[in-house]
Amino acid sequence: MKTILITGCSSGFGLEIARYFLARDWQVIATMRIPRSEVLPSSDRLRMLALDVTDPDSIHKAVEAAGPIDALVNNAGFGAASPAEATPMATVRGLFETNTFGTIAMTQAIVPRFRERKAGVVVNVTSSVTLRALPLLAAYRASKAAVNAFTESLAVELEPFGVRVRLVLPGRSPDTRFGENAQAHMGGADHAAYAELVKKVFVQLRDTSSPTTRALDVAEAVWRAVTDPKSPMRIPAGADAEARAAAAA
């Protein structure tokens, strides 16, 4: 029986990925800052661990407690929407600490084990906004695009050791709290000059009539990345993500 460790499982994509792999008889290690047993079904194949990907000590404890695993899914992250000139630097640093450095730190903690075994899969969940420039998401997009670049180079480095590395790029999803979290991280900066743009973008974020991404789409894409050795390097997840990928090809 194979084991997968997933970061950011308290809600949204991470929670759905954990459910998906549990339903397919994997052993699942679901991590989140504060474990909440009620969010996942009870199972003797499920373990929940506390993990803050921005804290080296937390990463070390979680990795040691996890023991041997076959796949790592770096999903933990958050979004923020704000005009670039008005985005508080604390928010920019927070985005990179979680979305970028957290992913790199978790990868560095796990990869030596995979390399020594000459087996394992790393899947990094980023965003399809990295495929197309969108307003108010400059810092968020940059934090995710950095992970894309990191992942693609990592894949080349680890291929000789039999370790696969993949990217999953979700689109906009009503199944996550991205919109409300993004708005909450706008901070107290003056956005007056961008008032109309801000209003328009947040209307679009709440629009469910246009193509979106379901959490299930992301879980299916991660499953493909983990279980199919012939899967592509970049896997868009969701109808809107697939359209962006096709347009960028």
- Give per-residue pLDDT as tens, 128-157: 999 998 899 999 999 999 999 999 999 999
The region that residue 83 occupies, defined by phi over 0 for left and psi between -120 and 50 for alpha, beta otherwise, is beta
The stretch 148-169 carries a mean pLDDT of: 98
3-class SS of residue 93 = helix
Of the two residues 211 and 118, the one the predictor is more confident about is 118
Q: Which residues contact 126 (CB under 8 A, 6 or more apart)?
A: 144, 145, 147, 148, 151, 167, 168, 169
**Two tokens, residue 155:** 């894949």
The stretch 113-125 carries a mean pLDDT of: 98
The stretch 204-210 carries a mean pLDDT of: 74
Confidence of residue 199 (pLDDT cuts 50, 70, 90): confident
Amino acid 190: pLDDT = 61
Of the two residues 201 and 67, the one the predictor is more confident about is 67
Just list the catalytic residues: 140
Q: Is the pLDDT of residue 164 over 80?
A: yes
Give, rounded to a whole angstrom, the gap between the first and last alpha carbons of the chain: 37
Q: Is the pLDDT of residue 188 over 70?
A: no
Q: What is the DSSP letter of 132?
A: S
The label of the residue with tokens 């379901």 reads: 214
Confidence of residue 203 (pLDDT cuts 50, 70, 90): confident
- The percent of the chain in helix, strand and coil, each rounded to the nearest 5, is 55, 15, 35
Q: Is the pLDDT of residue 207 over 80?
A: no
Please report, as a single letter, which amino acid is at residue 168. V
**Two tokens, residue 45:** 């194949």
Please state which CATH number belongs to domain 3-240.
3.40.50.720
CA-nearest of 70, 44, 26, 78 to 17 is: 26
Model's pTM, two decimal places?
A: 0.94
Q: Is the pLDDT of residue 212 over 60?
A: yes
The stretch 107-119 carries a mean pLDDT of: 98
Cβ distance 68 to 56 under 8 Å?
no
CA-nearest of 49, 69, 79 to 1 is: 69
Amino acid 3: pLDDT = 98
Of the two residues 20 and 205, the one the predictor is more confident about is 20
Please report, as a single letter, which amino acid is at residue 241. A
CA-nearest of 2, 169, 152, 145 to 75 is: 169
Provide the percentage of residues in the chain whose pLDDT is more than 90: 81
CA distance 50 to 64: 12
Q: What is the CA radius of gyration of the chain?
A: 18
Provide the percentage of residues in the chain whose pLDDT is more than 70: 94
